[in-house]
């Protein structure tokens, strides 16, 4: 069965960086994309970006351009999301999702369990 | 990119039908057939219930249906059940090749 297993919770200080991993299993990794979505406490969903599992092409949300980098390691079927220059309003649960397309963000049909990132001094 | 507009809350009695709207622009909802809907129960990850405006993933109840007219997409839940009480989010592909979510709608089963 399809599974996305994310790395554990993180606590970071303002200005630091965080890198969250998402290990996929149960499907052919290069045949799908991966999107990252975050949810601040008590708030709605926010799309962060998408990466193709096929060729590593990316699209990022404009507000995160320059602070976020998404990568994949096809040898281990793992996707990574790194967010730099962390601020308190980056405190959120971060989700990876398997996207139905390898050419563009379309819809996330399987989701990871979420990773809580807390930014606090 | 501004968030898509959804009503904050919708309620209905068991067995009734409810509809949640999702309004965007011609640069997102109105311009593409790539609108999706997600259900999220408290403390859980979202679950895809509709993609490409009208398609249901395998295993999703046929009580959930999607549609679109102009810049507004809609999710209808028929035969409302207690387990349908959750938050619902729409999302759309945009001209910038990004995705934008709606603000979310809390569904209450009376």
pLDDT digits 0-9 by tens, A39-51: 999 999 999 999 9
Mean confidence (pLDDT) of chain B: 96
A114: region left, alpha or beta (phi > 0 left; psi from -120 to 50 alpha): left
Rounded alpha-carbon distances, angstroms, from residue A58 to A36, A62, A65, A74, B34: 11, 12, 11, 15, 18
Confidence of residue B33 (pLDDT cuts 50, 70, 90): very high
Measured between alpha carbons, how far is A99 from A79 in angstroms, rounded to an integer?
12
CB < 8 Å from A in window 23-82 of B? 34, 36, 38, 40, 45-48, 51-52, 57
Summarised one tens digit per residue, pLDDT across range A17-39 is: 999 999 999 999 999 999 999 99
Residues of A in contact with B36 (CB under 8 A): 106-108
Q: Is-contact B63 B74, C-beta < 8 A?
A: no
Q: Which two tokens mark B17?
A: 């039908």
Per cent of chain B over pLDDT 70 is: 99
Rounded alpha-carbon distances, angstroms, from residue A118 to A36, A111, B27, B44: 17, 20, 34, 18
Residue A21: phi, psi to the nearest 5? -105, 160
**Mean pLDDT score, B68-89:** 98
| Residue B1 predicted with pLDDT over 80 | no
Q: Is-contact B88 B37, C-beta < 8 A?
A: yes
Predicted confidence at residue A102, as pLDDT, reads 84
Question: Are B52 and A114 inside 8 Å of each other by CB?
Answer: no
| Residue B39 predicted with pLDDT over 90 | yes
Measured between alpha carbons, how far is B50 from B64 in angstroms, rounded to an integer?
8
* Alpha-helical runs (H) found in chain B: none
Confidence of residue A91 (pLDDT cuts 50, 70, 90): very high
Rounded alpha-carbon distances, angstroms, from residue A3 to A74, B33, B56, B109: 15, 27, 20, 31
| Residue B84 predicted with pLDDT over 80 | yes
Collapsed DSSP state (helix, strand, coil) of residue B75 = strand
A89: region left, alpha or beta (phi > 0 left; psi from -120 to 50 alpha): alpha
Enumerate the β-bridge partners of residue A24.
A4
**Mean pLDDT score, B46-73:** 97
Confidence of residue A103 (pLDDT cuts 50, 70, 90): confident
Predicted confidence at residue A105, as pLDDT, reads 86
Q: How far is B85 from chain A (nearest CA, A)?
A: 16
Confidence of residue A104 (pLDDT cuts 50, 70, 90): confident
Rounded alpha-carbon distances, angstroms, from residue B40 to A14, A36, A64, B45, B88: 29, 16, 24, 6, 6
Q: Which two tokens mark B41?
A: 């129960």
- A111 to chain B: nearest residue by CA? B45
Q: How far is B110 from chain A (nearest CA, A)?
A: 22
**Mean pLDDT score, A4-11:** 98
Confidence of residue A113 (pLDDT cuts 50, 70, 90): very high
Predicted confidence at residue B2, as pLDDT, reads 81
Confidence of residue B4 (pLDDT cuts 50, 70, 90): very high
Predicted confidence at residue A45, as pLDDT, reads 98
Mean confidence (pLDDT) of chain A: 96
């Amino acid at each position: 069965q399809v599974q996305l297993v994310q790395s554990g919770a993180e606590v970071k200080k303002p200005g630091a960086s965080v890198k969250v991993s998402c290990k996929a299993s149960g499907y052919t990794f290069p045949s799908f994309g991966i999107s990252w979505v975050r949810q601040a406490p008590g708030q709605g969903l926010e799309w962060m970006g998408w990466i193709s599992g096929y060729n590593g092409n990316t699209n990022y949300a404009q507000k995160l351009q320059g602070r976020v980098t998404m990568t994949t390691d096809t040898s281990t079927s793992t996707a990574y999301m790194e967010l730099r220059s962390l601020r308190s309003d980056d405190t959120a649960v971060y989700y990876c999702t398997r996207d139905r397309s390898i050419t563009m963000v379309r819809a996330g049909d399987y989701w990871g369990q979420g990773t809580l990132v807390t930014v606090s001094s | 990119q501004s968030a898509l507009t959804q009503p904050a809350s919708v309620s209905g009695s068991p067995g009734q039908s409810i509809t949640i709207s999702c309004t965007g622009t011609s640069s997102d909802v109105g311009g593409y057939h790539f609108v999706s809907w997600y259900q999220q129960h408290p403390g859980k990850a979202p679950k895809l219930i509709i993609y490409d405006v009208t398609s249901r993933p395998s295993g999703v109840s046929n009580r959930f249906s999607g549609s679109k007219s102009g810049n507004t997409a809609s999710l209808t839940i028929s035969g409302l059940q207690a387990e349908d009480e959750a938050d619902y989010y729409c999302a759309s592909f945009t001209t910038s090749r990004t995705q934008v979510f709606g603000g979310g709608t809390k569904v209450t089963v009376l």
